[in-house]
Amino acid sequence: MKDAYAVSQRVLGALLCLVGVAMVVATLAAGGGPLALGSLVGVLFAALGAARLWIAVRAGGGGAG
């Protein structure tokens, strides 16, 4: 059960990061600037997803249980 939880944490972090990058790309493609709401929220999603993924990998990589 712990393995499923660890995998889901990594998947969720990666998905959040991808959604954030997609938001930034879509905003810039639609003509928004770097300070547009979609860009700012997208950067925040990407940062939070990357941080969640990093924490999940670090917490699961040690093998201590």
Tens-place pLDDT, residues 5-57: 889 999 999 999 999 999 999 999 999 999 999 999 999 999 999 999 999 98
Q: Is pLDDT of 65 > 50? A: no
For the chain, how many residues are written? 65
Nearest CA-CA partner of 12 in 61, 64, 51: 51
Quick check: 41 and 27 in contact, CB under 8 A? no
**50 or 63: whose pLDDT is higher?**
50
Q: Are 38 and 32 in contact (CB under 8 A)?
A: yes
Q: Residue 59 — very low, low, confident or very high, per pLDDT cuts 50/70/90?
A: confident
Q: Specify the pTM.
A: 0.83
